[in-house]
Amino acid sequence: MSTAAEMKIPVKPAASVWRGPDPVNLDEQVRFFHENGFVILRNVIGKPELDELDRELNRLAEQHATLPHIREGYNLEPRQDASRRTPTFRKIGGITDLSPAFNQLMRHPRVVASLHAIMGKSIYLYRDVVMMKPARVGREKPWHQDSVYWPWEPMQLVSAMTALDDASPENGCLQVIPATHHESVQHYGQELQIDIDDAMQAKTVYVPLKAGDTLLFHSLLLHGSEPNTSAQDRRVIIVSYRPDGLNFIGKGQREPDIVVSRQA
């Protein structure tokens, strides 16, 4: 891995494309997740739910001027697409408070069952954000590990990324480097990122998702994505979940817990 003193390198095309197989059985999912730092749940939601979430995102874009700023709030793409009627958002945070349909997705029984198997009996919400990655203007996300931004130790959160559109190498689907979730690495810069060397580049994998698939990934898994230069939006919702037993190391007051699910 490169150091801060070296040049900032853009995210390059990945060396390979993840094609499965994706474990379905819970025990196999847990084994696969611990080994690789991710696991994919296919077809978690279908067309009716996707259509409803699409309507919700259109509603929120229309109403953006009056929406409350929840958790990360929202954020515009540096490059706006003038052909759209509403501002071109990069992300919308606090989405599960803004929309009942997204709140329901955060608690989806299949996702929650896999999370319990991986994380234990208690699951709390930490972060909930829609990443819009809009056609033509969606910018890249440099290589990073989420936990280096986050005020929780040990760094053992799990994120669920559910695709709201088909996500492919063409429209900037996520890239990961499997099995990098065992330790944190030094990041640099305002956006907190790392540059990966040729050996790491050779291990990069695109993770294409069909709309409705959910990728679960460890908060230390190295990931990034290229810009979306295609004509297809690549929207995903990412919900990040925290297990019991982590210490809050942030500044200021800790937010009250939001319980997603608790097993007896």
Ligand X SMILES: O=C(O)CCC(=O)C(=O)O
Residues that bind ligand X (CB under 6 A): 131, 133, 141, 146, 174, 223, 225, 236, 238
> Is the Cβ of residue 36 or residue 147 nearer to ligand X in the bound state?
147
> Is the Cβ of residue 14 or residue 236 nearer to ligand X in the bound state?
236
> Is the Cβ of residue 61 or residue 220 nearer to ligand X in the bound state?
220
CB of 172 to ligand X, least distance (A): 6
> Is the Cβ of residue 23 or residue 169 nearer to ligand X in the bound state?
169
CB of 144 to ligand X, least distance (A): 7
CB of 167 to ligand X, least distance (A): 8
3-state secondary structure the chain: CCCCCCCCCCCCCCCEECCCCCCCCHHHHHHHHHHHCEEEECCCCCHHHHHHHHHHHHHHHHCHHHCCCCCCCEEECCCCCCCCCCCCEEEEECHHHHCHHHHHHHCCHHHHHHHHHHHCCEEEEEEEEEECCCCCCECCEEEECHHHCCCEECCCCEEEEEECCCECCCCCCCEEECCCCCCCCCCECCCCECCCCHHHHCCCEECCECCCCEEEEECCCEEEECCECCCCCCCEEEEEEEECCCEECCCCCCCCCCEEEECC
CB of 30 to ligand X, least distance (A): 23
